[in-house]
Each structure stands twice: as structure tokens, then as C-alpha cells.
Amino acid sequence: MDILIVGSGGREYSIALALKKDKEVNKIYLAPGNGATSQIATNIEIKDYDKLADFVIQNKIDLTIVGPEAPLVDGIVDIFREKGLLIFGSSKSASRLEGSKVYMKNFLKKYNIPTASYIETDKITNAEKFIDKLKNPIVIKADGLCGGKGVIIAQNRDEAKKAAQDMLSGESFGDAGKSIIIEEFLDGYELSVFAVCDGENYKILPAVQDHKRLLDGDKGPNTGGMGAYAPTPLIDDNLYEKIKTNIVEPTLEGMKKEGSPYTGVLFIGLMIVKGKPIVLEYNVRFGDPECEVLMPLLKTPASQLFHKAANGSLKNLSLEFYDKFAVAVVVASKNYPYSASAPAEIIIDKSIYKELNDTHISYAGVMREDDKLYANGGRVLLCIGLGANIKEARNKAYLLCGQVHFVGKQFRHDIAYQALVHD
């Protein structure tokens, strides 16, 4: 089978690595890929989705897997399906679950799926009235896609009103903030749960915990995610059952009723409050860095999972994972998440790296020049360790982290701390 992956991050790199191990897979392409994917697959420089579909037809590529949300929200799946191509991802109308927070919250309310109480508004007077009713802190969210920056946790009402005003005026996020959600703050712990769906059936993957804040101890600004581990002990069979019955199944039923049956991977961002799972958000793609810990744990050949989800035959897939744990530590550039950093050459101490079993790197924000690899993105790469328990996996990931060098390198030192406290 020949496969095209759309995207360029660590998530797409990890999917490519999983497919590379798969005997059923022949050629792997990435569009556009990055400076490291070119070493394990073929990078394609085609941005236009119609032209990309034509490339898939010309090269007889059997399956396309879409990594990030932007092409899904733009309707890449509909374009490929119209041309009779097999593609893993959500349709344009189903992608509104991520593309519009107002759509998502109204969907949750309509189908009685637990979520934080909220209002949606495009008027500052309504916003202020609701803010006055809430306790601190207060959560303000822009409706549209803001590259992971559209959520403000305001510490008091004045801050909340200012954030709402800045969004509604277009100052913070342009048109994406012209409509906003204001909601109550939920106090609990977060989990990322993924359901791979084919429109009819679904398979739940092991729950992952991400670390959204930049600094140790969950301090500093929110980021796209600074590290993840799976499976997490913060979930048990009882909680999985509640998530399936109260969230996944009503979501898939609801999407069918809305005329947008869900295909691809549904990422449910949950807050667990006193044992109750509450939906913070849906995403219509794999999480990043969550994908980088799930892919190496996948025992079932990756092509089977993606192919069967894309062609509607998930029902007869037996999905298996290794009886192991994975920890991923994100290594980011100097100014992340505030601004871009100057490109910095990446040097990896290979003498020791070779001795590290069960570790690998997933490359994200990197470019290649004169056969040297440079850090040129916010999140540059991820060091992943696998082990019989979380402690072992974490030690390996951090050992590998020590072998990676570039100017301005920053990473968190406490990934998986909640699981180790649990041990």
C-alpha cells in the first residue's frame, strides 16, 4: 500500500514512523513534510488540495491520512472523496466540531453531553452580564481557529471583561474572535481521549495525558503541548465506560443526526471533575504530542487502522497495543511560544544515542540545509522513551533529551509527574 500523509509536524512524523514498520506499506509521501521526514519518506510540495488529489491519482496512492485540523476544516476530505479517493479524516461539515467553538458548545448542549456552563455572544454587554455571574477564574474562548491561542483563563472579572472586549473588537484574533464563548472554570485533571471512527463504528485508544503549560509544575502560558504519556493510570474501566456511554456514543449519534457522520479521529479533551468526565473541547485530529506516544504503542499494523477507518470497515479490526508505556518530552526553541527563534543547528550525540534501546526522536519544527538539520519551529522535536512502566519510559525519554543539543533548547523536566505521584 502507498500512503500520503498531509502535514509537517511531529504528529505526522510519528505516523510515518509507524507506517514504516508496517510490512503492508510500500511508499510513504508527506505533503509538505519537514527537514527530517525527507529522510524516511518523500516530501511533496503541493499546497492546493485539488492538485494534491490529482497527484494521488497519478501516483496510484491507496490512502491519504490528514494530520492537522486546517486542511480538514477547509474541506480536503470532501475534495478527495469527490474524486473517489480513500482518505482518513473528518468531512468539512463534521470538522466544525473543532473549527467553531460556538458550533461545538451548541452541539454539546443539544445532545446533552456534559460540558462547562456557558454563553455564546457577539456583544460585550451580554458578555459582561454573564461574567458578573461567574466565580473566578473565568474562561473566555474565541469562536474560530487561533492556532491553539484562543483560550484565555482570566483570573478576575476585570481581566475577563478585557479579554472579551479585545476578542470582540477583532484586536486579539481578527474575525476568529468576533463571536466568543464565556464559560465556568472547571477544576480537575485533563485527559485526552481518542476515538477512531468510520461513520458507524469506533475504537477507543488508550487515554493520554498532555502537559499544556510551558513550565514545570504547570506554570507559564498555554502551549500546543510540552509532553505526553500513555497509557495513564488516571483512568480506569469505570471512567472509560462513562466516557463511552455519556460522551463518545452520543457524539457519534448526534453527528449522524446532524447529517455529518463522523469519520477520522475524534479527539475529546476532557476535564475529570470528581470522577465525572466533562468535555472541554473536541478536535478533529490526533493531538500533538499525544499522537507521538500512541503510534509507538500500536501493535496492530498502522495501515490497517487508518485504512479500515477510511473505508468503513472498522468493525472487523482487532485493535491491539503493546503492554508498554510511552513518554514524550517536547524540546522547543528558545522563544516558544512567544515568537520565532533564529534557526539553530541540531547536534545529536549519536555515540550514546545508539546505546539507548526503546527510544527515538519524532521531528517537528526542523529544516535541512547542506545536509545539516536546523531547529526552525516552535516545537522542534520530541524525545520518546518506551518502557515496562512510566518511570522507565520517562527515564529513557530524558536520557535521550540530554543527547540533543541546539542553542536555546528548552523542555519541561516533569513530564508524567501526575502518573508518578500516583505510583
Q: Could you say whether residue 190 binds ligand AMP (CB under 6 A)?
A: yes
- Exactly one of 185, 240, 321, 353 binds ligand AMP (CB under 6 A); that residue is 185
Cβ nearer to ligand AMP, comparing 222 with 313: 222
330 in Cβ contact with 289 (< 8 Å)? yes
CA distance 129 to 291: 40
Say whether residue 287 binds ligand GLY (CB under 6 A): yes
Using the rule CB under 6 A, which residue among 71, 224, 377, 387 binds ligand GLY?
A: 224
Other beta carbons less than 10 A from residue 74's beta carbon: 14
The least CB distance from residue 163 to ligand AMP, in Å, is 13
Per DSSP, 365 falls in state S
List the one residue out of 22, 54, 17 whose CA is nearest residue 33. Answer: 17
**91 — phi, psi (to 5°)?**
-70, 165
Q: Does 288 bind ligand GLY (CB under 6 A)?
A: yes
Q: Which residue is nearest to ligand GLY (CB)?
A: 225
CA dihedral 127, 132, 134, 139 (to 10 degrees): 40
Distance CA 215, CA 71 (A): 30
The sign of the dihedral angle between the CA atoms of 283, 66, 248, 242 is negative
Residues 96-135 within binding reach of ligand AMP (CB under 6 A): 116
Cβ proximity to ligand AMP, 62 vs 183, nearer residue: 183
Q: Which position among 225, 296, 301, 337 is part of the footprint of ligand GLY (CB under 6 A)?
A: 225
Q: What is the grid cell recorded at 59?
A: 501516483
Among positions 32, 144, 269, 408, the unique one binding ligand AMP when judged by CB under 6 A: 269
- CA–CA separation, 211 and 414 (whole Å): 9
Q: Which region among 92-100, 166-174, 182-190, 298-306 touches ligand AMP (by CB under 6 A)?
A: 182-190
Our CB check for ligand GLY shows the closer of 294 and 401 to be 294
Which of these ranges, 59-67, 167-175, 287-295, 321-329, lies near ligand GLY under the rule CB under 6 A?
287-295
224 binds, among ligand AMP, ligand GLY, none (CB under 5 to 8 A by kind): ligand GLY
Q: Which of 364, 365, 348 is nearest to 400 (CA)?
A: 348
DSSP H helical ranges for 169-257 = 237-243, 249-257
Our finding on whether 418 is near ligand AMP (CB under 6 A) is no
Does 281 bind ligand AMP (CB under 6 A)? Our answer is: yes
Task: Check residue 207 and report its DSSP letter.
Answer: P
| Binding of ligand GLY by 261 (CB under 6 A) | no
Residues 234, 189 contacting (CB under 8 angstroms):
yes
Q: Is 73 in the site for ligand AMP (CB under 6 A)?
A: no
Cβ atoms of 115 and 105 within 8 Å: the answer is yes
**Residues of the shown chain interacting with ligand AMP in the complex, contacts defined by CB under 6 A:** 116, 139, 141, 151, 183, 185-186, 190, 212, 222, 269, 280-281
**Residues of the shown chain interacting with ligand GLY in the complex, contacts defined by CB under 6 A:** 210, 224-225, 283, 287-288, 290
